[in-house]
Structure formats: structure tokens, C-alpha cells
Amino acid sequence: MEVVIRGVRNVFRNATRSLAVVLILTVVICFSLVMLISLRAVNNKVDSVQSSIGTTITISPAGSRGTEGGGEPITTDDIAKIKATPHVSSVITSLADRAVTGTDTNLVSAIDPGTLGQRFNRNRSGSTNSNAPAAPPATLKLPITVTGTSDPSNIQVQGISTVTLTSGKWFDGASSANDAVIGTTLATKNTLVVGSTFTLHDATFTVVGIEDAGNQFANNGVIIPITTLQNITTQAGQVTSVYAVADNLSNLSDVQTALTSSLGTKVDITSQIDQANQALQPLQNIQSISLYSLIGALVAGTVIILLTMVMIVRERRKEVGVLKAIGASNFLISTQFMVESFTMSIIGAVAGTIAGVFLSTPVLNALLNNASASTASTAAGPGGFGGAARGFASRFGGQAASAFNIKSIQANVGWNILGYGLLIALAIALIGTLFPTLLITRVRPADVIRGE
């Protein structure tokens, strides 16, 4: 116990030097903690964003979107290539079609065309004036969306992935039966319940279930097995959307690259990985800054303690010699110097932890703002054509960042931070005192006393 008390008292033998060392350690430990807190907060956010983007890649004919646009359907060969791509765990195929009331089906759309419907359908009604609303035909009815799918449990209707079955059951996606699940508004409009029948492309379908996709447009549709839709529309083997699921989030980017390479430009391949990567870039910059700063601060702290303790041991070399001469062991003397080093480090740890707790949030915010601004300015680039293009990219990046809300990062400061502060201090003190301890063991009392 006395050796501990002596070690603590030795801190105050040269108060000015000890104060300077403690102040430096306070800054080092504060800086280390702030960087550690930032690193953890950013890591958590990166994990959260990456886990939220899912592992699904959407492949659709270039130039088409659902039942809009043009392009060529995806073929059986393309689907085989997709299935053969490494790390693709499953493939869901989908075919989109539109059924016109009276011509293709006896169902009546539940959506009133209204002004927007009239305008969107003006070209179909033969208007040549693109500015003036065309006069709607008296019998204009919006077409009904028909979706054929190989996996109704993972169905996406108009981009909505959460489709809930409100009554009945899903059909078997691999079958070619004339079973259908219809949207709630369409069912209400046509007074259909589970077990009712309707006609589509001259075939009679039985309603096996009723679904709710969350909005009126999506609920104005019919979902049937893809093979059935291919058969009744004479599009055997053709699909308009393929959803390839990667086996792991970390393989998502590789799968997307492989699909782009094998399918070429005739398809559009999209996932949230690009958007997520763009949004995460500022965070990844902060991760690097935090990590290197943390390592730098720890090394600096260790070197400071090391040099200070070497200086102290050299200064007290004669005292070490005398202590050995009067019977102190190397262990006892080293312990005394270690206690001195630990005391300075712990005082620095307490002050540094308090400062770190208060500074972590402002520093993290500053890092976020700085990293975001730096990314935006790099993306904006010069003016002219390039500038315009990059400006668009930058806006798109901004959208990506805001979509994942990357600036909403909390610097969580818990009791464990106190533990980390103490651990950092102890590690610095321990490593920084190892070499000086070696110097102590090498002091020979006879040399020191003879050197008087």
C-alpha cells in the first residue's frame, strides 16, 4: 500500500511537469473517446442502412416500367442466365398486362378516370394537341392491371412489396390454373368475393383471394399465376420483371455487376446498393478519419507517457540506485513508477472522459457536415455540361443521403464510455511504462553511487 501512496505522491514532485502531462493526456483521451464514439455511431448507422436496403435486384426490359414504356420482354434464356449467376439464391418472375373492359375482360375498373386519367390517356384517344386536354370519349374506362407471378407470397404490385391477403388464399405460383387474387377496390366495384368468377382474355377465372396493397390504384388489379397469364396472352416464356435475390448483402454488388455483364444493355438492373453506397460515402470517410485519429491519439498518448517516464527514470536514476542499495526489489521500484504513470493517466482519463462526453455530439455533427459538404462539392464539379450533369448526380446523391437519413446519427454516450476512457488510460500507462521499467531493472547501484 505504501508503494502506491509513494507513487501517487511522486506525481506532485514536479507539479508543473505532471500538470502538463495530465493536460496532454486529457486532450489525447478526450480525442480518442470522441473518435471512438463517432466511429461506433457511424458503424451502427452503416449497419442499419445496409440491413435496410434488402438483397433484391430488379431486372426489367430497358425502356419499360410495369405496363408503361416499351422494349423487348425478358426471355427464358435470360432467366436461365440470371438463375445461373453466382450468389443468386432465388428468382421471382413477373409479367404485367392491362385488360380493357369489354374487350379483354368483363371486369369494370374501380378507378374513375377524372381529369388526370383523361390527360394521361389523350394520346390513346387520338388527340394531337399535347397541351390542350383532349376531349374524353364518353365511354373511357381505365384499364385493369393484370400481374402474373411465379411467387405470390413475394408479390410486388406497382412497386409495392407489402401486399396483404384480406380473405381467401394465394394460388400456387407454379401452376397454370385459372385462379386469381384481386384487389379490394376491384372486388367491391364488381361485387366479387372468394369463389366468384370473371372472364379475362376469354378464359374464366375463379377468385381465390382478395388482397390489399395499400392504395386504390394497386388495389384495382388482378394477380394470377405467370404461366396462366403467358398462356392466355400468347407470351409463352416471356416476362416483364425478374426479381433476383442475392444470398448475402455483401454479395449484392457482385451479383448486380455479374447480371449487368451477362444481360447487357437490353435490360435495366436496379437495386438500392448504388443509392446506399452513395449515401454511405460520407459516413465511410468519417469511419476512416475516426479510426486513424483514434489510433493516432493512442500512439501519441503512449509516446508521451513513454518519454515522460523515461525522463523521470533517468532523472531519478540515483534514487533508484539508492532504493536498490537499501533493499528494494526491481518489482517494488517498478511498481512505484507504474503507479505514478497510472495516476497521471487516470487523472487525464477522468478529465478527458468528461470533455469527450460533452464534445462527442458537436464533433460528430461537424464531421458529418464536413464530409457531406465535401462529397457534394466533389460531385458538383465545374460548370458547363459536366457541371450540369454532376449537379444532377449531386442532387440524386442528396436524395440518396436523405432517403437513408444519414445525418440522423446519435452519438450514444453510455456508462461503457467511462469504461473505455479508463481502459484507454490504463493501456497508455501500461505500454508507456514498459520500457522505463526495463531501464529501472538495468540500474546498477554501484554505477550510480560511483558516479557521484
Partner 1 sequence: MLTVSNITKEFPSGDGIVKAVSNLSFKVENGTFAAIVGKSGSGKSTVLNMLGTLDAPTSGEIKVDDQVINKLSGSKLTKYRRQKIGFIFQNYQLIPNLTAIENVMLPMEFNGLPKKQRLERATELLLMVGLTEEKHRRRPTRLSGGEQQRVAIARALTNHPRLILADEPTGNLDSKTGKVIIDLLRDLARSQDVTVIAVTHDTAIAKLADVQFTLKDGELEK
Q: Does 201 bind partner 1 (CB under 8 A)?
A: no
Name which of 119 and 318 has its Cβ closer to partner 1: 318
The amino acid at residue 263 is L
Asked if residue 438 binds partner 1 (CB under 8 A), the reply is no
Contact indicator for 74, 267 with CB cutoff of 8 Å: yes
Q: How far is the CB of 33 from partner 1 (least distance, A)?
A: 33
CA atoms 124, 127, 129, 131: torsion sign: negative
Please identify, using beta-carbon distances, which residue of 324 and 390 lies nearer to partner 1: 324
H or E segment and range at residue 183: strand 179-183
* Cβ at position 446, least distance to partner 1 in Å: 4
| Nearer CB in complex with partner 1: 112/452 | 452
**Cα separation of 376 and 357, whole Å?**
30
C-alpha cell at 411: 452519438
What is the total count of residues that contact partner 1 (CB under 8 A)?
Answer: 24
* Residue 47 beta carbon to partner 1: minimum distance, rounded to whole angstroms: 52
Residue 446 binds partner 1, judged by CB under 8 A: yes
Give pairs for 100-103: CB < 8 Å, separation 24+. Answer: 100/141, 100/143, 101/141, 101/143, 101/144, 102/141
Quick check: 442 binds partner 1 (CB under 8 A)?
no
When asked if residue 376 is in the footprint of partner 1 (CB under 8 A), the reply is no
Rounded to whole angstroms, how far apart are CA atoms 76 and 242? 11
Residue 202 or 452 with smaller CB distance to partner 1 = 452
452 touching partner 1, by CB under 8 A: yes
If the CB atoms of residues 2 and 202 are measured against partner 1, the closer one turns out to be 2
Smallest distance from the beta carbon of 427 to partner 1, in angstroms? 28
Provide the minimum distance between the beta carbon of 319 and partner 1 in the complex, in angstroms, as a whole number: 6
**Nearest alpha-carbon partner for 97 in 267, 195, 234:** 234
Beta bridge partners of 59: 242, 269
The C-alpha atoms of residue 350 and residue 312 are separated, in whole angstroms, by: 23
Nearer to partner 1, 124 or 444 (CB): 444
Does 444 engage in binding with partner 1 (CB under 8 A)? Answer: yes
Nearest Cα residue to 220 out of 139, 358, 111, 310: 111
Give min distance, CB of 326 to partner 1, in A. Answer: 5
DSSP states of 54-84: -SEEEEEETTEETTEE----B-HHHHHHHHH
Over the window 4 to 33, marking each residue x when it contacts partner 1 by CB under 8 A and - when it does not, the resulting string is --x--xx-xx--------------------
Q: Which of 15, 16, 326, 384 binds partner 1 (CB under 8 A)?
A: 326
Q: How far is the CB of 333 from partner 1 (least distance, A)?
A: 10
Whole-number Cα distances in Å, 14 to 134, 302, 308, 351: 92, 20, 12, 20
Which of positions 285-324 make contact with partner 1 (CB under 8 A)?
318-319, 322-324
- Give the binding site for partner 1 (CB under 8 A): 2-3, 6, 9-10, 12-13, 318-319, 322-329, 332, 444-446, 449-450, 452
